[in-house]
């Protein structure tokens, strides 16, 4: 709970934690609903999701005979929690080799999240994890992954900058099989300038892994930069089309007040959020749990900063 509270303090202090102050203690009227809507939109909950939440709240207010605005805080908390669900376990067990493909735009936090995830799976779950440096576009991207790999003691299969990512993925998949690794995590490039090529490349990488290991990739995790709020939701739609995203990692929630976007990932994209990135160090990746998430957004007795 500690890391959730710390990590989400910006969103809490700017929005949800201030709901009581914002709504005051008055008869509920049109202004109350306007304020509520503004709060949700500003917290990046997204338009569709905001409308649904406000509708549901109004219904609840009628059904429960709530009349005062100070009673809305708990009702809002309940409605937001109802949008979320506990993410299913990653589909990475019960077979010889499971493959996780990680996609997302440049700078969203893919490589960092891969290192964090590999570290978690290796240390918390005791799995044999390997990484493929499928972002072959820049030398720095390969080196960054290799540096992480050394630090967390996870092998990284890489090729020269500019080489074919499909070939790297093929080599890594063969190496993982030959050496008895259970999980292969594939890093990818995320240049959006040429959307068409990027998406085609992802499809190809996906197909290459599927040729060596049946049904691979078993998970396609989309990494979304939390600081981009609703823009990330729009991006997600292209990735969903190209590579059949199975779940989401939301990064950088520690450095933004836009944490409300998590609700629209569940509600608008119908995708589970598996992990949250709440900082830049290796341990700052937490398993998403709806209860902790909502509680951390609302707890407003803030001492830390």
Ligand X SMILES: Nc1nc2c(ncn2[C@@H]2O[C@H](COP(=O)(O)OP(=O)(O)O)[C@@H](O)[C@H]2O)c(=O)[nH]1
Q: Looking at residues 118 to 147 of the shown chain, list those that interact with Mg ion (rule: CB under 5 A).
A: 141
- The beta strand positions in the chain, using DSSP E, are 98-103, 129-134, 156-157, 183-188, 219-225, 247-251, 273-277, 285-287
- Going by C-alpha positions, the residue among 202, 272, 195 that lies closest to residue 243 is 202
Residue from 257, 262, 278, 294 touching ligand X (CB under 6 A): that is 278
Q: Which residues on adjacent β-strands are paired with residue 134?
A: 188
- Going by C-alpha positions, the residue among 158, 157, 89, 86 that lies closest to residue 120 is 89
User: Counting contacts by CB under 5 A, is residue 111 touching Mg ion?
Assistant: yes
- Going by C-alpha positions, the residue among 121, 37, 26 that lies closest to residue 76 is 37
Q: Looking at residues 206 to 225 of the shown chain, list those that interact with ligand X (rule: CB under 6 A).
A: 223
Q: Looking at residues 162 to 191 of the shown chain, list those that interact with Mg ion (rule: CB under 5 A).
A: none
User: Counting contacts by CB under 6 A, is residue 280 touching ligand X?
Assistant: yes
User: Counting contacts by CB under 6 A, is residue 201 touching ligand X?
Assistant: no
What gap in Å lies between CA 52 and CA 55, rounded to an integer? 5
What gap in Å lies between CA 37 and CA 26, rounded to an integer? 17
From the CB of 291, what's the least distance to ligand X, in Å? 21
Residue from 110, 120, 267, 274 touching ligand X (CB under 6 A): that is 110
User: Counting contacts by CB under 6 A, is residue 290 touching ligand X?
Assistant: no
Contact string 33-72 vs ligand X (x = CB under 6 A): ----------------------------------------
146 binds, among Mg ion, ligand X, none (CB under 5 to 8 A by kind): none
Which residues, at least 6 apart from 140, have a Cβ–Cβ distance to it below 8 Å? none
User: Counting contacts by CB under 6 A, is residue 104 touching ligand X?
Assistant: yes
Q: 93 to each of 42, 45, 142, 207, how far by Cα in Å? A: 40, 33, 28, 21
Which residue in the shown chain puts its C-beta closest to ligand X?
277
Residue from 17, 46, 149, 190 touching ligand X (CB under 6 A): that is 190
**Which residues in this chain contact ligand X in the complex, by CB under 6 A?**
104, 106-112, 190, 223, 251-252, 254-255, 277-280, 284
């Amino acid at each position: 709970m500690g890391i959730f509270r710390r990590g989400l303090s910006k969103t809490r202090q700017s929005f949800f934690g201030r709901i009581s102050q914002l709504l005051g203690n008055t008869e509920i009227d049109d202004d109350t609903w306007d304020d509520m809507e503004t709060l949700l939109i500003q917290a990046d909950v997204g338009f569709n999701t905001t409308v649904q939440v406000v509708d549901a709240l109004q219904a609840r207010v009628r059904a429960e005979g709530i009349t005062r605005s100070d009673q809305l805080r708990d009702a809002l908390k309940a409605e937001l929690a109802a949008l979320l669900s506990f993410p299913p376990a990653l589909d990475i067990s019960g077979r010889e080799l499971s493959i996780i493909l990680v996609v997302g735009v440049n700078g969203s936090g893919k490589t960092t999240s891969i290192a964090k995830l590999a570290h978690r799976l290796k240390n918390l779950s005791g799995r044999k994890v390997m990484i493929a440096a499928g972002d072959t576009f820049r030398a720095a991207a390969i080196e960054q992954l290799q540096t992480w790999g050394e630090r967390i003691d996870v092998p990284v299969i890489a090729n020269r900058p500019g080489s074919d990512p499909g070939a790297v993925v093929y080599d890594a998949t063969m190496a993982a099989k030959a050496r008895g690794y259970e999980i292969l995590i594939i890093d990818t490039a995320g240049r959006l300038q040429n959307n068409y090529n990027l998406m085609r490349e992802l499809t190809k990488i996906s197909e290459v892994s599927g040729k060596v290991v049946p049904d691979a990739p078993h998970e396609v995790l989309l990494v979304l930069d939390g600081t981009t709020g609703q823009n990330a939701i729009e991006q997600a739609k292209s990735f969903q089309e190209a590579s059949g995203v199975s779940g989401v990692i939301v990064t950088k929630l520690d450095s933004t007040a836009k944490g409300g976007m998590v609700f629209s990932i569940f509600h608008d994209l119908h995708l589970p959020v598996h992990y949250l990135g709440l900082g830049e160090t290796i341990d700052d990746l937490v398993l998403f749990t709806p209860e902790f998430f909502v509680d951390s957004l609302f707890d407003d007795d803030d001492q830390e900063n």
